[in-house]
Chains A and B, each alone.
Chain A
């Protein structure tokens, strides 16, 4: 069949670029390999290699451009475009569509490697050939993910340019493809609503740049082992390691900010497997960079330096495997599904792991058995080494827990992740953080080789005692009682104060030289902010009406959600909270919630409005997004967990005279019923009343109920009558209270219990809208965000200084 309007040429061009980039990367890797050998042919190999990598880089850029054109123009004939975008979507999210899929995110990663490669070609000097050979080899693997060719019945990679929607195995039988003009009618599936957020346009490229940068210390370390220059590689790799720390760290924290602003779990960090998978390589990299610093001249602890550099990159590959293979299954909210790539990813992982381990083993005896001088106990080298070991331990604990699904696969066990992951991770990570922050506090006061201990203690004592006082004040003001929180607070404050003091007294305020200290202050502030905002997180939407379920575990309150009816006001923490109503704007339903604060005179003043929303998405499910009000010292977070999203039904109910089904209640004298807008009280019963309006006969038995109906403003009465005629109960007449939309019938007398039966009906329009919501207060969370910025600034200061020294 001839299809109309398909754009097949662009796919063919894209596919050519894919093949070209793969072949050129392979060629570059081989040529750089020969160029790295020391003989007379080196120069010609190097020339060839440079050109091959240039072709590779340009092809990757070509792939990126082609994919963009396809997404931009909504070429839904391509499965990738159809799967990740649609016509309604704002242009700003086209970027997110690009990297939503596996192919796109690998492409992003590949692209950053190209950029890094171009820079290294110009800056790495005599390290260029071995380092670029490794990077090109990595590129061979990465571009093979896009190949989409079948070899021996195994498909290698998935190619966004060759998979047409109409050829996709899932859509073989879809009738739309029998129409040659099907494209006219086609719309894309669209982007996952969770990703339609501004953080999602900047978080993935930053994170992937961070991932990509880990290849540099790895490639340098491998090159060092290969060329048997065990120390020389460290200096040129150092600035890269620190750039990577800054960028990967920013990427991770952006993910936290996204979770805090747009996800609904009520926090910025949940020890989710996907979060852990990016945090762990960062930790090992921080360890790597610090031991690189102390080994760059003498090389006392080279083994761990190599190990950490190699491990970091391998962990990045392992993270990719964890998150992309679908092995995490139901343990992660992110849970990507397997699209047949996991075997391929494992091969990459084991290849680079083996490369590192083999090279390390071959050379091990060169730096493991090194008799003679060992660094002194009170030297900076030694404590940097200890710090790296602690970071390694922390990484190990996180990775071991996160890999539970992997252990299940390997050992056929049925372990589930801890039911309270945050508590079980914190149990280990708080002590680790304590040790790390202590080391950060004292680290710079140690001198290289040997420190004079009395001098060291004297310099630190001021900071130490100041931190104790500040900790005591903070702990008192914040009502911090748990010992491990107080200890962590002390160590983070100690790190902040000692490093600030170092800048003032030792560096005499020379901020340009203070990069490390500034970064350390920032890191400690991040931990401090995290500590206070999570340990003192306050749930203000407490519902005390429910049953007590403390038997299920102390962490589970079962009371975090509260119902708020439209117009009602409930007290939450220091606020009075009112649900105003909902607004429909495009695909979003906003729920306006007003917060009032009590003035000194007891009057309520409106403080602010929060509008948490639900993004409706019939294709992929609705997504609720919280709304947060930021203050200098705390945040008020509000999230709708359940709400009626229908508009039409309520509109119909408005002004309608229909009544809802009756509510039947047994009442004794003095009992009351709650209607949605009033309280109904049975005052009395009487047989002695004026019977003329009821056309009663003398033989009839009649009882009249006196109901008092109270709303906020006024009291009404309703007097339904119960009649027995000739031993038959007469059909009761409803008595209406028109202003309140209520009607009552007196339907039974129950002498055995001494009660009567009243059936009450409410007009449908009486039903008020309601939401189920959660409200939390996060105190001092700004300390965390400020810490992030300080840390990044500090790291860049350190990089600038380092580059100056290297030149």
Chain B
């Protein structure tokens, strides 16, 4: 069973390798304040759009820059520079996940994930205007 032993060892080595590299390549969910403490690391920040404040998207100047204010789950507000187009239906989002780094006062996001409300839970029922 020598061969099997060698294979067994290799398998275990690969398994440990995958676990460690996977764990080291993961990002972390954090708040804005936590992200600010480590400006070099990338974080996932979950929060909500501040609908009171202005969102700026001026594609004439830069089609890949969209600025808005987000309040994270701990209640802290921060300016966000998203280096992408403004997502369609952005204002409807009820939850935002930003992926990026804190740079100074602003959070520089390279990507965004949005959760739009499912109308299912709103208890609304659409009526047909012209019943046909």
Contact = CB atoms under 8 A, between A and B. Distances in A.
Interface of A: 82-83, 87, 165, 170-171, 173-174, 176, 184-189, 330, 335, 337, 374, 377, 382, 386, 389, 392-393, 396-397, 400-401, 404, 414-419, 424, 427-428, 543, 545-547, 549, 551-553, 556, 558-563, 614, 619-622, 624, 641-642, 770, 772
Given A386-B7, A393-B18, A415-B23, A563 B116 contact: no
A547 B42 CA distance: 20
B109 to A, nearest CB: 8
B3 A382 contact: yes
Given A622-B88, A642-B88, 5 more contacts: A87-B128, A170-B121, A185-B127, A419-B110, A561-B63
B65 A552 contact: no
User: Which DSSP category, helix, strand, loop or mixed, fits chain A's interface?
Assistant: mixed
B60 to A, nearest CB: 7
A173 B87 CA distance: 34
Contacts of A386: 7
A675 to B, nearest CB: 12
Contacts of A377: 3
Contacts of A335: 115
B120 A400 contact: no
B36 interface: no
Interface string B64-76: 1100000000000
Contacts of B33: none
Nearest to B86: A642
Given A170-B121, A330-B46, A400-B22, A545 B62 contact: yes
A427 B11 contact: no
B37 interface: no
A330 B99 contact: no
B26 A418 contact: yes
Q: 8 smallest A-B Cβ distances: which pairs? A: A558-B83, A416-B44, A556-B110, A416-B27, A397-B18, A641-B85, A187-B128, A424-B25
Contact of B3 (A374, A620, A642): A374
Interface residues of B, number: 62
Contacts of A165: 125
A193 to B, nearest CB: 12
B84 interface: yes
Contacts of B86: 642
17 contacts: A82-B125, A87-B128, A174-B123, A176-B125, A330-B95, A337-B118, A404-B22, A419-B42, A419-B110, A428-B21, A543-B63, A543-B64, A552-B108, A560-B64, A620-B116, A642-B85, A772-B63
B67 to A, nearest CB: 12
B99 A419 contact: yes
Contacts of B59: 563, 642, 770, 772
B92 interface: yes
B56 interface: no
A396 B27 contact: no
Nearest to A176: B125
Nearest to A369: B1
Given A189-B119, A428-B21, A393 B14 contact: yes
Nearest to A183: B131
B27 A170 contact: no
A27 B23 CA distance: 47
A171 B18 contact: no
Candidate in A82, A83, A397, A427 with the most chain B CB atoms within 10 angstroms: A397
Contact of A415 (B1, B26, B111): B26
Contact of B119 (A401, A560, A562, A620): A620
